[in-house]
Amino acid sequence: MKTLSEIDTTSKRATRGVGFSWGIAEEVGKNMRLLELFGLPGVKNLNKFLKDYKEKQFHKITLISQSNNANKHPFCPIILGTNFIDQVKLLDKKINIKITNVAFPILFLPFVSRASEIIGKRIFLKIEEKEFLFNLNQSIYSNYLKNEILEVCNTIDVSFIENSNSFNENEWKELYKLSEDTFVEETESLKIGAAGAGLTDND
């Protein structure tokens, strides 16, 4: 089995080998490590994309807006993802973003996962009927676990989720009340012990 380090290094070199800059290649290496770690087919999709990249044309978006349409050629997922990360602090003000005609959309996912960490918010993404929830680059929850190549998709929808508690104020107060049973009333002896705990005089 290939290590994540091997996956990172080889993916980076292969991306550079087809003409991307070293900077972008570094990002792709990190992304492949992330996809494979989360059980998504990163290497499989990257391999096919890089072979196609040498032969086909892809639309390279620069400025991402609320609605993004690629007509003749599908969006390049690497350039799309790179710009998504660069612009995410502005994009999350739009709440919802729609992107049509994206090549190899699996390769776009790790950019979104990392963007979630940058803005400190969860991001919900749909590739047609496939759903993904990105949680600050710590996990990806999805109803899609197939080990297959997804060459193109018609639509990607991205939504930014505002931070909120999963519990109400009453539940929090009840839990806090239970926690109070662990509180120890501070005495003079505890103060002295805490002040000098672990210290010894060796003189």
Tell me the three state secondary structure of residue 27: helix
Displacement of CA 20 from its chain's centroid (Å): 21
Q: Which helix (H) or strand (E) holds 125?
A: strand 122-127
Token pair of 145 as six digits:
């676990």
- pLDDT at 189 (0 to 100): 61
Q: 181 pLDDT band (50/70/90 cuts)?
A: confident
**Average pLDDT in the 171-191 region?**
79
Inform me whether the pLDDT recorded for 12 exceeds 90. Answer: yes
Cα distance between residue 60 and residue 80, in whole Å: 7
Inform me whether the pLDDT recorded for 23 exceeds 80. Answer: yes
Cα distance between residue 157 and residue 149, in whole Å: 20
Q: Are strands 67-69 and 96-103 parallel, antiparallel or unpaired?
A: parallel
Backbone phi, psi, residue 18, to 5°: -95, 0
Residue range 46-74, pLDDT digits in tens = 999 999 998 999 999 999 999 999 988 99
Secondary structure tally for the chain: helices H, strands E: 7, 6
Tell me the three state secondary structure of residue 83: helix
- pLDDT at 11 (0 to 100): 97
pTM value is 0.84
Residue range 101-133, pLDDT digits in tens = 999 999 999 999 999 999 999 999 999 899 999
Tell me the three state secondary structure of residue 118: helix
